[in-house]
Amino acid sequence: MTDAVGSIDTPDAQDEVSEPKKARKGGKRAKKGPLKRLAIFYRQIIAELRKVVWPTRNQLTSYTTVVIFFVAIMIAVVTVIDYGLNHAAKYVFG
List the pLDDT tens digit at each of the 94 positions of the chain.
555 565 566 555 555 555 666 666 655 555 788 899 999 999 999 999 999 999 999 999 999 999 999 999 999 999 999 999 999 999 999 8
Distance CA 22, CA 14 (A): 18
pLDDT reported for residue 25: 61
Looking at residue 31, its pLDDT comes to 74
Helix (H, G, I), strand (E, B) or coil at 36: helix
Residue 27: predicted pLDDT = 59
pLDDT given for residue 83 in this prediction: 97
The full set of domain ranges for the chain reads: 58-93
Give whole-number Cα distances, 20 to 15, 16, 46, in Å: 11, 11, 39
